[in-house]
A = this chain, B = another copy of it.
Amino acid sequence: MRWLSVHPAVELAYLGSESYAGQSMNSVYPHLGRVNHVLRRFEPTEVAGAADVAMLAVPAGHGMKIAPRLLESGVKVIDFSPDFRLKRPEVYQRYYKAEHACPDLLQEGVYGLPEAHRKEIAQARLVAVPGCYPTGALIPLLPLLRADLVKHEGIVVDSKSGVSGAGRTSLELRYHFPEANEDVTAYNVATHRHTPEMEQEIGLAVNDEASVCFTPHLVPMTRGIFSTVYAPLSDDGRTTKDLIECLRSAYASDPFVVVHGEGSIPHTKATAGGNSCHVTARADERTGRAILLSAIDNLGKGLAGTAVQCMNLMFGLPETTGLEMAAAYP
């Protein structure tokens, strides 16, 4: 809402909500100041008449119920749910414990990571916004895999996330301030649902099956994901310089990826409130491993920012429209 309400090419045509129907945006979210559109109980047929594109900020299982109806009526869909991210219905079923409702649409849906699928997104009717963790891990990893600087076997992804990733409705004890503050812990070890997204996109990059050992952690901050990716160097001679040059070359014209050189390291703080992804890489020649580092705002580049970026691509707008403002450092 923060980005859409000031986006020069966007008119907010329809705001649906189950929980807050009948209330105005700024009474539910006072930070929005004078954005006082009234939320309505969601009615797909009303959207069809009102909008060119729908952004679905819904949980798993709801995207695949709503998207088909909107697409049929000519509304493009940008889905925040995980329902159209995984190309294989059986993988979806394994991780989400539910049969996929429209496996054929799975093939049409585009994985909405502009850094990997910019052209397909521009052509798409249906875009699946990637998970926040895969975005952070894949942006530094894909170019190095494609350039064969690192191997795709034996990849470890260790991510550190702010607590806002939990959303606003899950008032569990572990997100209670006195519990989460001054604490670090891991969760969903070896079982997190974002794992198959990483494996799918790595597999596509190297044209092979891939498996990833992924551990997400909760750290005591609101926004931000810092990912540390360990991948075997493909060759003993690979240096930090090689890795960074590859990243610089891959992202030379990408407006939102900032590549740090040998003397500089990404910080999540440099991304908070914006749509950037900061990355760098180091070759640990002693142990034969590349160490890739990335920082994003889990609610920015990790979710809503990428959604707006995809929308810009889908409608032929300059990719940065409405997303130009820098992070709110410090």
Contacts and interface: CB of A to CB of B under 8 A. Distances in A.
Interface of A: 1-3, 5-6, 26, 29-35, 154, 156, 158, 160, 162-164, 166, 168, 171-173, 175-187, 189-190, 211-213, 215, 217, 219-224, 226, 228, 230, 255-256, 258, 260, 264-274, 276, 278, 282-284, 286-287, 289, 291, 293, 295, 324-330
A173 B177 contact: no
Q: How many copies does the complex hold?
A: 4
Contacts of A34: 255
B6 A324 contact: yes
A254 to B, nearest CB: 10
Given A160-B219, A178-B164, A273 B213 contact: no
B5 A190 contact: no
5 contacts: A2-B325, A164-B330, A190-B286, A217-B226, A325-B325
Given A31-B272, A31-B327, 18 more contacts: A2-B327, A30-B267, A31-B271, A31-B329, A33-B256, A35-B326, A158-B230, A168-B173, A168-B330, A177-B222, A181-B181, A182-B222, A182-B272, A184-B221, A184-B224, A185-B267, A186-B265, A217-B226
Given A327-B31, A330-B179, A295 B185 contact: yes
A189 B284 CA distance: 8
A224 B180 contact: no
A327 B185 CA distance: 16
A260 to B, nearest CB: 7
B184 A268 contact: yes
Contacts of A274: 31, 33
B178 A224 contact: no
A185 B226 contact: yes
Contact of A221 (B171, B182, B189): B182
Contacts of A166: 178
B222 A219 contact: no
A225 to B, nearest CB: 8
Contact of A176 (B175, B215, B226): B175
A329 B35 CA distance: 14
Q: Which of A33, A213, A278, A289 has the most CB of B within 10 A?
A: A33
Task: Name the 7 nearest CB pairs between A and B, nearest first.
Answer: A273-B328, A31-B329, A190-B284, A183-B269, A184-B226, A31-B270, A178-B330
